[in-house]
Amino acid sequence: MITTYDTPTETMTAITDGWYNRLAASLNLSVQHFQLLQPPGVPASDQALWDCFNVVPPATLKYNRWYYQQPTFFSQYAAVVNRLSFPESAFVKDIGADTYVQWQAYLKSISPPPPANTLPTVWFQWAVVNAPSVANIGRSDLATQLLISGAQAVLEPYEGPDAIPADFSPSFSDLQNTLSASTGTSFSFDSINDDPDVSNSWVPGDDPNYFGMWTGSSAVFHISRKFASSKITVSMQFDHFATVSVTPGQWYNSALLHQAWASQSTPPWIDSSDWQTYFGASGSLTHAVGSLLAADGITLTLTSDADFTQSEQTLIKGLVAAGDWPVYCPITSPAISNTISTGPGSMTIQFKSAPGNPVVLGFNVLDIRSYVGAG
């Protein structure tokens, strides 16, 4: 039976935050953006890789995928696009009814009719002479109409019962190639000496929603607390590692998402309250994955001087396949191995990933303001 406590989990918090800081410092990652992924992703196909980062990441340093039930980035983007509209009545209101009648008469006089994507320019050239006071706002209105209708049309094949999957870059093969051309590194962690202070990171403060000693365990388990209170060392080696930008496919329109974020009014929103639904402080699209951290050919060796009892050692050995601190990577394929040896006052765990099998260790997260290019 595993004993649990109701007391705070400062020890697991401290070693995990210390590990976060060591990983960020060793790989030159910014603590203003970096987020650990728990457990990491071990994709073997395009879809598995895209599923890994097609997510609205939570505001946390340690994204525990068992705890946080996050919506996909695609679903939230598509929801925003489908909540936008710029009706003709709004255009009429902005330019005036009399000007609209003249404009429609002018359009009918052009043969053949101008293509829809040229209407903002055609309008502006006509309005500079015939309605100069509303030339700019009319052009802006028509451009917004065009932007919304174009984005909705592009999105259609990716929605509904016969939808094609939302694609991203990199593909799985692109990630493999990037890693194979990247350098390796090695570094070490010491729980006694490494700094657990994350108060200057992008999500400062206690963040308890992560595993204890093994995947799925609680940080308040007695074994987890005993482990976290011990002297822990980790030696880490990557044959290759890289930070790779994440880019949505052709279904995504960055200009439209910027337009939606930049204006809370109706139009372009069908309902002005929708802006808060998606972009407000508790909205469903407040962050996005800007890039991912992946490594290939990982060798991790952990030692602990915790004095586990015989029954505790047996339990730990039985759960080693579930994945353990600090990467929590379960044995889901022959590409991953976890081994453990224990003795009085000592424990050694070794994690390995076979070469050619990328492991996604974390993300660089952008708030939505930065993601849409607004600062």
State the pLDDT at residue 333: 84
Would you say residue 266 lies in a domain? Answer: no
Quote the CA–CA distance of 312 and 321 in Å, as a whole number: 16
207 and 147 within one domain: no
Instruction: Please indicate, yes or no, if residue 375 is contained in any of the structural domains.
Output: no
Q: Are residues 364 and 299 in the same domain?
A: yes
- Asked whether residue 259 is domain-assigned, the answer is no
User: 332 and 234, same structural domain?
Assistant: yes
Give the C-alpha distances (Å, rounded to integers) separating 199 from 151, 204, 225: 40, 4, 22
The region that residue 116 occupies, defined by phi over 0 for left and psi between -120 and 50 for alpha, beta otherwise, is: alpha
Please name every residue paired with 350 in a beta bridge, in sequence order, or none if there are none: 301, 339
344 located within any domain:
yes
**Confidence (pLDDT) at 210:** 77
- Residue 91 sits in the same domain as residue 146: yes
Kindly list the distances between the CA atom of residue 67 and the CA atoms of 188, 194, 222, in Å, as whole numbers in the listed order: 28, 27, 20
Which residue range is the domain that position 27 belongs to? 10-72+167-248+285-370
Instruction: Tell me, yes or no, whether 65 and 188 share the same domain.
Output: yes
- What was the pLDDT predicted at 4? 36
Residues 6 or more apart whose CB falls under 8 angstroms from that of 75 comprise none
Same domain, 67 and 138: no
Residue 86, domain member (yes or no): yes
Side chain identity, residue 337: S
Q: Do 227 and 122 share a structural domain?
A: no
Please say which residue of 118, 137, 158 terminates a domain.
158
Alpha helix stretches (DSSP H) within the chain: 10-26, 46-53, 73-81, 88-95, 97-109, 119-130, 135-155, 172-180, 222-229, 254-262, 274-279, 310-319, 368-371
* Residues 338 and 309 grouped into a single domain: yes
pLDDT value of residue 76: 98
pLDDT at res. 299: 98
Please state the domain count of the chain.
Answer: 2
Asked if residue 195 and residue 137 are part of one domain, the reply reads: no
End-to-end Cα distance, the chain: 52
Q: How far is CA 225 from CA 4, 36, 188, in A?
A: 9, 21, 22
Assigned domain for 277 exists: no
Are both 92 and 223 inside the same structural domain?
Answer: no
Q: Which of 176, 179, 180, 154 is nearest to 167 (CA)?
A: 154
Domain boundary, last residue among 139, 158, 177: 158
316, part of any domain:
yes
Whether 24 and 86 map to the same domain: the answer is no
Q: What is the rounded CA–CA span in Å between residue 210 and residue 212?
A: 7
CA angle 238, 43, 237 (to 5 degrees): 10
262 lies in a domain? Answer: no
The residue from 107, 128, 158 where one domain ends is 158
Residues 307 and 355 in one domain: yes
For the chain, 375 residues long, give each residue's pLDDT as a single digit of tens. Answer: 333 333 445 888 889 999 999 999 999 999 999 999 999 999 999 999 999 999 999 999 999 998 898 999 999 999 999 999 999 999 999 999 999 999 999 999 999 999 999 999 999 999 999 999 999 999 999 999 999 999 999 999 999 999 999 999 999 999 999 999 999 999 999 999 999 999 999 998 667 667 899 999 988 889 999 999 999 999 999 999 999 999 999 999 999 999 999 999 999 999 989 999 999 999 999 999 999 999 999 999 999 999 999 999 999 999 999 999 999 999 988 899 999 998 888 999 999 999 999 999 999 999 999 999 987
